[in-house]
C-alpha cells in the first residue's frame, strides 16, 4: 500500500501553469507626434523662483543667493556661497567651483547618496559653462561656490541644461557681477529631425544629443557637448536651433529677474 506523503523540504509548484510575460520593445514616443503635443523646437514651460533657500536658513551658513528652477518635470535647486576666502591666498582672480548631485529619488539611475563619476563630470561641465560669464577678476583671492541638487530629472541632457539656467538665476540673486547670464538648451536627433528639450523617453529613442550653453547678449557659446554621430550640416543646424532656444530661455530668466526688482 503506497502512502501519499508530501515532501515538506520541497516547494511545490502551482496547480495551474501560467504563460510567462515577455518584455516588448518600447513604443516610439514620436509615432504620433510628441507626447506632450509640443512643437519640435518648443521648450517645456519654465518656472523660476529666487531666494527659496535663503528664507529657510537664518544662520551664518545661509547662502548668498539661491534659485529653484522647473522645466516640465525637471526640478533643480541651486545655492550660491561667496564670495568668500579662496584656497589660494595670492590668486589675482577668483575661482568658481560647482558641486552637482542627483537626489536618490530623482531618477532611475541614482540609488544612493554616494557621489558617482557622472556627477563629478557634470559638475565640471557646469563650471566650464558658467565661469566665462562671471567677472572673476573682480573677486581676487575669493571663491564662489555653487551647490546644485536635482530633485527630479526627465532627460539627462535637458537636466544639465536646466542646472545651468538655475545657476545663472542663483548668481544674479547672490549679486555676483556677471558679463551676461548663461542660458542653455539641449536637442536630440530622431531620424532626420532635431527635437528640442527632450524628455527621457524621447532621449532613449534618439541617436544623438546636443547641449549648448550660450551668453545671448554677448553672442558667445560657453559650452558645447555632443553625443553621437552627425554630419557637419546636421550639427550646424542643431547649434543654430539651440541658440534660438537659448535666447527664448534667456528672455524668461531676464523677465523674472526684472520683475523681482519692481
pLDDT of amino acid 116: 85
Cα 32-23-207 angle, rounded to 5 deg: 50
Closest CA to 164 of 130, 133, 134, 132: 130
Q: Where are the alpha helices (DSSP H) in the chain?
A: 117-130, 156-174, 200-204, 232-261
Residues forming beta bridges with residue 48, ordered by sequence position: 69
pLDDT of amino acid 35: 77
Contact between 30 and 190 under an 8 Å Cβ cutoff? The reply is yes
C-alpha grid cell for residue 49? 523662483
pLDDT of amino acid 138: 93
pLDDT of amino acid 134: 96
DSSP state of 121: H
- Write the DSSP assignment of 160-202 as a string of letters: HHHHHHHHHHHHHHHT--BSS--EEEEEEEETTEEEES--HHH
pLDDT of amino acid 25: 61
Residues of the chain with confidence (pLDDT) below 50: none
pLDDT of amino acid 110: 74
In whole angstroms, what is the distance from residue 163 CA to residue 243 CA?
A: 17
Amino acid at each position: 500500500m503506497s502512502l501519499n506523503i508530501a515532501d515538506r523540504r520541497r516547494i511545490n509548484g502551482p496547480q495551474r501553469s501560467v504563460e510567462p510575460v515577455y518584455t516588448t520593445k518600447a513604443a516610439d514616443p514620436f509615432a504620433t507626434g510628441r507626447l506632450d503635443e509640443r512643437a519640435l523646437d518648443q521648450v517645456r514651460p519654465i518656472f523660476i523662483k529666487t531666494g527659496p533657500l535663503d528664507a529657510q536658513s537664518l544662520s551664518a551658513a545661509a547662502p548668498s543667493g539661491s534659485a529653484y528652477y522647473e522645466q516640465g518635470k525637471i526640478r533643480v535647486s541651486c545655492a550660491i556661497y561667496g564670495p568668500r576666502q579662496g584656497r589660494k591666498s595670492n590668486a589675482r582672480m577668483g575661482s568658481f567651483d560647482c558641486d552637482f548631485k542627483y537626489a536618490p529619488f530623482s531618477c532611475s539611475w541614482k540609488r544612493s547618496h554616494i557621489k558617482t563619476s557622472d556627477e563629478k563630470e557634470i559638475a565640471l561641465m557646469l563650471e566650464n559653462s558658467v565661469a566665462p560669464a562671471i567677472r572673476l577678476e573682480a573677486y581676487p583671492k575669493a571663491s564662489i561656490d555653487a551647490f546644485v541638487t536635482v530633485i527630479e530629472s526627465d532627460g539627462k541632457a535637458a537636466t544639465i541644461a536646466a542646472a545651468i539656467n538655475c545657476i545663472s538665476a542663483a548668481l544674479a540673486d547672490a549679486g555676483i557681477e556677471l558679463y551676461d547670464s548663461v542660458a542653455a538648451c539641449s536637442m536630440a536627433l530622431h531620424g532626420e529631425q532635431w527635437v528640442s528639450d527632450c524628455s527621457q523617453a524621447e532621449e532613449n529613442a534618439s541617436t544623438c544629443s546636443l547641449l549648448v550653453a550660450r551668453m545671448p547678449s554677448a553672442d558667445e557659446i560657453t559650452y558645447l557637448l555632443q553625443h553621437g554621430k552627425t554630419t557637419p550640416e546636421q550639427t550646424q543646424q542643431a547649434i543654430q536651433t539651440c541658440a534660438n532656444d537659448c535666447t527664448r530661455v534667456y528672455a524668461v530668466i531676464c523677465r523674472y529677474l526684472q520683475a523681482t526688482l519692481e
